[in-house]
């Protein structure tokens, strides 16, 4: 029997209208959006469906919005595909940065209403630190990991995301990022692209946010997982509450080892990945990591009708 992994997107996958199809057509999806509105105390649902994109893209809104949409998509998969295709049950789950929270909800480790509350706090803490410095993130395309790491050391920036071969995101002060980008291109990188974010996420600039989040997580109800989640910071499985708290805490300032995580799951026998949530960012990354791997996605009615394994 084939092994399946569910993967969940992170910040940057937001788009106006995400989740609307499923909200209109499936009661479990509607229930997730309604619950998020109740927990957060503002109409997140309306922001997801109507925008504006400028507001939806702000960290404090995009993070709970993507989590909510992803879990709504998961509920649709569970109601419409799993009852007749039990073999779609996952062996592993994983999420890119913020997406790790979606994976933990799917694994039974955190209740959705608890997760959306934590993510709301996480986003506020991160945004607070982002506003303190003229910092950002830059994608380095077409350069080996070791070379990017060397440049980071020389220019006082940090590796934030190792997404796939030839795509590494670095994080730090804007003036340092500019120098690092120039040096990367001189060393053979195809491009250095400044990302549309206003903070040095997944770097030591987020340590104060990390400390605040640790306190929130210490009070959260977290259970043993029914299915292992591959942690961003180690690219290894986690299953118990202590491991989960440590992973979610360190993740804010640590590197997202996405390429390593995908390779680990493939090594364990995973042959099909299902991306659950808005857009298809992870689908593209996974295909660049292993072109022979099957990757599906669930995000709207069109993708649901086209779904087949």
Active-site residue flag, 202: yes
User: Which listed residue (13, 62, 97, 261) is catalytic?
Assistant: 97
Give the separation between CA 10 and CA 245, rounded to whole angstroms: 18
User: Which listed residue (57, 120, 202, 253) is catalytic?
Assistant: 202
**Cβ neighbours of 219 (radius 10 Å):** 7
Sign of CA dihedral 116, 117, 122, 127: positive
Using alpha carbons, list the distances in angstroms from residue 191 to 144, 164, 170, 186, 287.
13, 15, 13, 10, 20
Active-site residue flag, 204: no
Q: How many helices (H) and strands (E) does the chain have?
A: 14, 10
Sign of CA dihedral 214, 63, 111, 304: negative
Give the separation between CA 240 and CA 129, rounded to whole angstroms: 29
Which residues participate in catalysis according to the annotation? 97, 202
């Amino acid at each position: 029997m084939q092994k399946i992994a569910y993967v969940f997107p992170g910040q940057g996958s937001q788009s106006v209208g995400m989740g609307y199809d499923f909200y209109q057509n499936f009661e479990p999806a509607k229930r997730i959006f309604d619950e998020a509105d109740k927990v957060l105390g503002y109409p997140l649902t309306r922001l997801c469906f109507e925008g504006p994109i400028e507001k939806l893209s702000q960290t404090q809104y995009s993070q709970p919005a993507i989590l909510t949409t992803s879990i709504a998509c998961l509920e649709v998969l569970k109601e419409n595909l799993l009852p007749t295709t039990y073999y779609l049950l996952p062996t592993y789950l994983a999420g890119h940065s913020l997406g790790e929270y979606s994976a933990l909800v799917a694994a039974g480790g955190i209740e959705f209403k608890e997760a959306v509350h934590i993510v709301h706090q996480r986003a506020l803490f991160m945004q607070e630190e982002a506003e303190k410095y003229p910092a950002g993130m830059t994608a380095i395309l077409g350069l080996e990991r070791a070379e990017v790491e060397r440049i980071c050391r020389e220019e006082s920036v940090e590796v934030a995301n190792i997404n796939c071969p030839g795509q590494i995101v670095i994080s730090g002060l804007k003036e340092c990022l500019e120098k690092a980008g120039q040096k990367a291109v001189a060393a053979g990188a195809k491009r250095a692209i400044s990302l549309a974010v206003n903070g040095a996420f997944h770097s030591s600039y987020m340590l104060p946010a990390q400390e605040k989040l640790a306190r929130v997580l210490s009070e959260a109800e977290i259970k043993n997982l029914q299915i292992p989640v591959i942690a961003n910071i180690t690219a290894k499985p986690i299953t118990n509450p202590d491991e989960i708290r440590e992973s979610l805490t360190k993740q804010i300032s640590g590197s997202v080892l996405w390429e390593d995580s995908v390779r680990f799951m493939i090594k364990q026998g995973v042959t099909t990945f299902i991306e659950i949530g808005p857009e298809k960012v992870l689908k593209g990354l996974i295909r660049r990591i292993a072109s022979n791997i099957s990757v599906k996605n669930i995000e709207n009615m069109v993708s649901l009708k086209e779904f087949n394994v």
